[in-house]
Amino acid sequence: MGVQSLAKSHKEFKDSYGRRYEDLFKELAQKGQAPKSLFIGCSDSRVVPNLITHTDPGEIFVTRNIGNFVPPYDPNRDNSATAAVIEYALMHLHVANIIICGHTHCGACEALFEEIPSNENESNLKKWMAHGLAAKEQAEALIPNSNKEQLLRSTEKFNVIEQLNHLLTYPAVKHKVQSGELHVMGWFYHIETGDLDYFDPIEYKFTPLEHLESK
């Protein structure tokens, strides 16, 4: 989609969606945002948080990055956008939920099995991908390399679990979880079907999200 197409799409947005939510937009501008959940997702263009959660503007606070990675807490690290979002969501928006959402056919997880060139054009990418290596290693320990599809699906799921572990290294997150003020959850989105699974830490498996409705 070129720039001209985007301009046309914006006009269509204002003529339809914009008018439909005109009052909501004004209210959000006047009163500010008060989302209850932080959604940490992948930058993949096929994963659209508000679409797959069927939520309106103002309902979820969103950050996206390659691989839906969460760098472990490190007060000495140079600025991390994801870490800053987590801190802002907790300390200023007072969200009650943090969701880390992985997905099928994740290019970042597939790239973990490839060699990223060591050059100045991809130096940041190479460093960033290190946050997913533990998930790759866990999948390789269980799934033979000959079964590529199963290996990738397992890596994608282990990645969600590993990023949840990283999330819990943040002091504010750990404190709020222990006090009952915060709930953290791992989701897994199936691009081909639109289905969502959640990670059950008790049974250590992913279960269809719709099962939560009956609990």
Quickly state the pLDDT bin for 215 (edges 50, 70, 90). Answer: low
What integer is the mean pLDDT of 20-24? Answer: 90
- Output the pLDDT for position 121: 83
Cα torsion at 13, 14, 18, 22 (round to 10°)?
Answer: 180
Co-location of 39 and 19 in the same domain: no
Cβ neighbours of 144 (radius 10 Å) = 9
- Percent over 70 (pLDDT), the chain: 99
pLDDT score for 78: 76
CATH number of residue 200's parent domain: 3.40.1050.10
Task: Give me the number of domains the chain comprises.
Answer: 2
The packing angle between helices 148-167 and 133-142, to 10°, is 130
- Shared domain for 53 and 138, answered yes or no, is yes
Cα–Cα distances in Å, from 210 out to 41, 49, 144, 176?
Answer: 19, 17, 31, 26
Calculate what percentage of the chain has a pLDDT beyond 90: 75
Residue 112's pLDDT band (cuts 50, 70, 90): very high
Residue with tokens 């969701």: 99
Q: Are residues 20 and 61 in the same domain?
A: no
**Mean pLDDT (the chain, rounded):** 93
d(CA 57, CA 133): 34
pLDDT of residue 95: 98
Q: For residues 115 and 138, what is the distance between their CA atoms, to the nearest angstrom? A: 18
Domain check: are 110 and 141 in the same one?
yes
Query: What's phi and psi for 82, nearest 5 deg?
Result: -65, -45
Q: Does residue 19 share a domain with residue 83?
A: no
Is residue 50 located within the same domain as residue 21?
A: no
Query: In degrees, to the nearest 5, what angle opens at C-alpha 188 toward C-alphas 50 and 200?
Result: 120
Q: Are residues 92 and 37 in the same domain?
A: yes
Asked if 22 and 41 sit in the same domain, the reply is no
Whether 9 and 69 map to the same domain: the answer is: no
Catalytic positions: 42, 44, 46, 103, 106
Domain co-membership, 142 together with 98? yes
Q: What is the pLDDT of residues 135-177, one digit of tens each?
A: 999 999 998 777 999 999 999 999 999 999 999 999 999 999 9
* Domain of 27, in residue numbers: 1-31
Question: Where residue 18 falls among pLDDT bands split at 50, 70, 90?
Answer: confident
Q: What confidence tens digit (pLDDT) does each residue in 33-77 have?
A: 999 999 999 999 999 999 999 999 999 999 999 999 999 999 888
Let me know whether 166 and 69 are in one domain. yes
Based on the domain organization, do 39 and 1 belong to the same domain?
no
The pair of three-digit structure tokens given for residue 47, joined into one six-digit string? 């994963």
pLDDT of residue 104: 98
